Structure 1
Amino acid sequence: MKEIVHITEAFGGGVLSMLTQLSNRAAAAGVGVTILHSMRPETPANFEKLFHPAVKFKHVSMCREVHLKNDWAGVRDLVRALRECDPQVVHLHSSKAGVLGRVAARIAAPRARVFYSPHGLAFLRRDVSAAKQFAYLTFERIAARMGGTIVACSTSELREIETKVYAPRARMIENGVNVDEILPRVEKRNGELVIGMSGRASYQKNHEAFAKLASNLQGPSIEFLWIGGNADEVPAENTGAVTCSGWVTRERALELTSELDVYVQTSRWEGMPIALIEAQVAGIPAVVTDVVGNRDVVQHGVTGFVAKSIEDMEGYLVRLRDSPDLRARMGTAARVSASKRFSMETIFRQWLSMYEFGSEKPSREPLGTNEVASYETSSDSQF
Structure 2
Amino acid sequence: MKEIVHITEAFGGGVLSMLTQLSNRAAAAGVSVTILHSIRPESPVNFSKLFHPAVRLVHVDMCRDVHPVKDWTGLWDLVRALRHCDPSVVHLHSSKAGVLGRAAACIATPDARIFYSPHGLSFLRRDVSPAKQLAYLNFERIAARMGGVIVACSASELHEIESKVNPRSAVLIENGVNVSEIPPRIEKDDDRIVIGMSGRASYQKNHEAFASLATTLQTPNVGFSWIGGNPDELPVEARSAVKCSGWVTRDRALELTAQLDVYVQTSRWEGMPIALIEAQVAGIPAVVTDVVGNRDVVKHGVTGFVATSIEEMGAYIARLRDDPALRARMGAAARHAASARFSMDTIFRQWLSIYETGSGKPVREPLGANEVASYEARPDSQF
Compute the displacement of 1:236 (Å).
Answer: 1.8
Please tell me the residue identity of whatever aligns with 1:4.
I
State the partner residue of 1:105. 105
Paired residue secondary structure (2:92) = strand
Provide the rounded CA distance (Å) in 2 between the counterparts of 1:272 and 1:364: 16
Give 1:316's aligned residue. Answer: 316
Take 1:180 and 1:367, find their aligned partners in 2: how far apart are those partners?
29
Alignment of 1:23-172 (within 5 A): 23-172=23-172
Distance 1:182 1:133, change over 3 A: same
Counterpart of 2:106 in 1: which secondary structure? helix
Q: Which residue is 1:21 aligned to?
A: 21
Residue 189 of structure 2 aligns with which residue?
189
State the AA in 2 paired with 1:85: C
- State the partner residue of 2:283: 283
Match of 1:10 in 2: 10
Q: Which structure 1 residue ranges, 5 or more long, are not aligned?
A: none
Q: TM-score, normalised by structure 1?
A: 0.97
- State the shift of 1:366 in Å: 8.6
- Is residue 155–residue 296 contact of structure 2 (8 Å, CA) maintained in 1? yes
Q: RMSD of the TM alignment (CA)?
A: 1.7
Residue 158 of structure 1 aligns to a residue in which SS?
helix
Output the amino acid matched with 1:38.
Answer: S
Q: Kindly indicate whether the alpha-carbon contact (under 8 Å) linking 2:36 and 2:60 is maintained by their aligned counterparts in 1.
A: yes
Contact 1:162–1:366 (CA under 8 A) maintained in structure 2:
no
Q: Which secondary structure state, in structure 1, belongs to the residue aligned with residue 34 of structure 2?
A: strand
Q: Are the counterparts in 2 of residues 92 and 116 from structure 1 also a CA contact under 8 Å?
A: yes
* CA–CA distance in structure 1, aligned partners of residues 175 and 366 of structure 2: 22
User: In the alignment, which residue of structure 1 is the partner of 2:247?
Assistant: 247
What is the match of residue 225 of structure 2?
A: 225
Instruction: In structure 2, give the amino acid aligned to 1:330.
Output: M
Give 1:380 deviation, angstroms: 5.7
Q: 1:141 to 1:380 in 2, by over 3 A?
A: farther
- Cα 1:107–1:228 change in 2 (3 A) is same
CA distance in 1 between counterparts of 2:323 and 2:82 reads 56
**Is 2:350–2:363's contact at 8 Å kept on the other side of the alignment?**
no
- Give aligned pairs, total: 383
Matches within 5 A, 1:167-178: 167-178=167-178
Determine if contact 1:157/1:293 at 8 Å carries over to the other structure. Answer: yes
Please report how far the alpha carbon of residue 360 of structure 1 lies from its aligned counterpart in structure 2 after TM superposition. Answer: 3.6
Distance of 2:320 and 2:360 partners within structure 1: 45
CA contact (8 A) 2:119 2:272 kept: yes
Q: Conserved in 2, the CA contact under 8 Å of 1:223 and 1:242?
A: yes
Verify the 8 A CA contact 1:23 1:33 in the aligned structure 2.
yes
SS across alignment from 1:378: coil
1:239 CA drift (Å): 2.4
Cα-to-partner distance string for 1:347-379 (whole Å, 9 max, x where unaligned): 000000000011244568999999879966526
